C-alpha cells in the first residue's frame, strides 16, 4: 500500500527533476531497497528512535498531502492537516488493520496500477513537446531518494524480491505517465494520476482513483502512527503536531526529500546495529 500512496504525488515530484530519466531513478531506488532488505531495524538508542520517528512522520505528511490533493483539492492544506491528526492519531492510539486486510488491499492496489498502465499504453498520446535530454544525475538521485521509502518492504519474508517487484510496478507506471503526459507536463502536475487518466480518455475511472487515493494513504499512515507510538511513546504526539503543520504549510517535494533522507539514515543505523551486534558476538 505504501507504494500506491507514494505514487500519487512522488511521481510528479521526481519527474520535475529527472525528466525522462525518471525510470532510472526508480531502478536505483528499487535496487537499493532490494539490497538493503536484510538490514535489521535500528536499535533503541535516542538517535535511532528520533530518526525512525522523523522517517515515519514525514511519510505520513506525504500521504496526507496526497490524500488532500486527490480527495479534497479545494481545501488541500486543511484536509492534509486533518488527515494527519485523525488517521495517524488513530494509529498512535493503537488501532491496527488486520494483516489479511493489508495483503488483500495491497493486491487490489497492484491490480489497479497494472490496469492504469494498460489503459495508458492502449491509447496513443496526443503528443508532447519535450524530448529526451542528457541525464541530470542530481535529478535522478533525488528521484531515487524520494521513492526509496515507498519501495522498502516492511515485512521481512522475501522482502528483497517484493521490493524489486514494487520497483517494476513503479517503473511501468512511470513509463505510462511519461508516454501519455511527457516529462514537463508530468513534472508540473500536482495530481499526476488524475491528469494521466484524462490524457488516456479514461475520465470514467476518476471516482475509482479517488477510492484508491483514500485506501492507499490511510492504511500506511495508520501503520506509521502505530510505529511512532512504539518507538517514541507519548513524546511522539509532538511529532504528530509537526507532521500536521508540515502537511498544512509545505509543498510535497521537501517533505518527500526529508522522508527519503530519513530512510537513508535509518538504513545506516541498521547497518551500524548489525555490525555492533556482530562485534559483541
Low-confidence spans in the chain with pLDDT less than 50:
279-281
At the fourth CATH level, which superfamily is domain 2-274? Amino acid/polyamine transporter I (1.20.1740.10)
pLDDT at 279: 47
* Residue of 197, 262, 259 lying closest to 59 (CA atoms): 259
Joined grid coordinates for residue 157: 519474508
pLDDT at 36: 85
The three-class DSSP label of residue 33 is helix
Q: 143 — phi, psi (to 5°)?
A: -60, -40
Q: Which residue has the cell 517533505?
A: 255
Q: Which residue has the cell 535489521?
A: 40
Burial class (CB in 10 A: 0-12, 13-18, 19+), 232: buried
pTM > 0.75: yes
What residue ranges do the domains of the chain occupy?
A: 2-274
pLDDT at 84: 92
pLDDT at 274: 65
Amino acid at each position: 500500500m505504501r507504494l500506491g500512496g507514494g505514487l500519487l504525488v512522488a511521481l510528479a515530484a521526481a519527474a520535475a527533476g529527472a525528466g525522462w530519466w525518471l525510470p532510472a531513478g526508480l531502478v536505483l531506488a528499487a535496487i537499493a531497497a532490494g539490497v538493503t532488505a536484510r538490514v535489521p531495524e535500528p536499535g533503541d538508542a535516542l538517535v535511532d528512535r528520533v530518526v525512525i520517528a522523523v522517517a515515519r512522520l514525514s511519510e505520513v505528511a506525504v500521504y496526507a498531502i496526497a490524500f488532500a490533493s486527490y480527495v479534497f483539492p479545494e481545501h488541500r492544506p486543511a484536509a492534509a492537516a486533518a488527515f494527519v491528526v485523525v488517521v495517524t492519531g488513530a494509529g498512535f492510539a493503537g488501532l491496527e488493520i488486520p494483516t489479511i486486510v493489508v495483503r488483500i488491499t495491497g493486491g487490489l492496489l497492484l491490480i489497479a496500477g497494472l490496469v492504469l498502465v494498460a489503459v495508458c499504453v492502449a491509447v496513443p498520446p496526443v503528443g508532447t513537446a519535450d524530448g529526451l535530454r542528457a541525464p541530470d544525475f542530481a535529478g535522478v538521485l533525488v528521484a531515487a531518494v524520494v521513492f526509496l521509502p515507498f519501495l522498502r518492504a516492511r515485512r521481512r519474508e522475501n522482502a528483497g524480491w517484493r521490493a524489486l517487484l514494487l520497483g517494476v510496478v513503479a517503473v511501468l507506471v512511470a513509463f505510462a505517465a511519461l508516454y501519455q503526459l511527457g516529462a514537463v507536463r508530468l513534472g508540473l502536475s500536482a495530481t499526476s494520476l488524475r491528469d494521466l487518466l484524462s490524457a488516456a480518455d479514461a475520465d470514467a475511472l476518476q471516482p475509482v482513483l479517488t477510492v484508491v487515493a483514500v485506501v492507499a494513504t490511510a492504511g500506511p499512515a495508520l501503520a506509521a502512527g502505530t510505529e511512532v507510538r512504539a518507538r517514541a511513546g507519548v513524546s511522539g504526539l509532538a511529532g504528530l503536531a509537526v507532521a500536521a503543520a508540515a502537511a498544512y504549510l509545505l509543498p510535497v517535494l521537501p517533505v518527500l526529500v526529508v522522508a527519503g533522507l530519513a530512510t537513508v539514515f535509518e538504513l545506516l543505523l541498521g547497518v551500524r546495529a548489525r555490525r555492533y551486534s556482530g562485534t559483541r558476538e
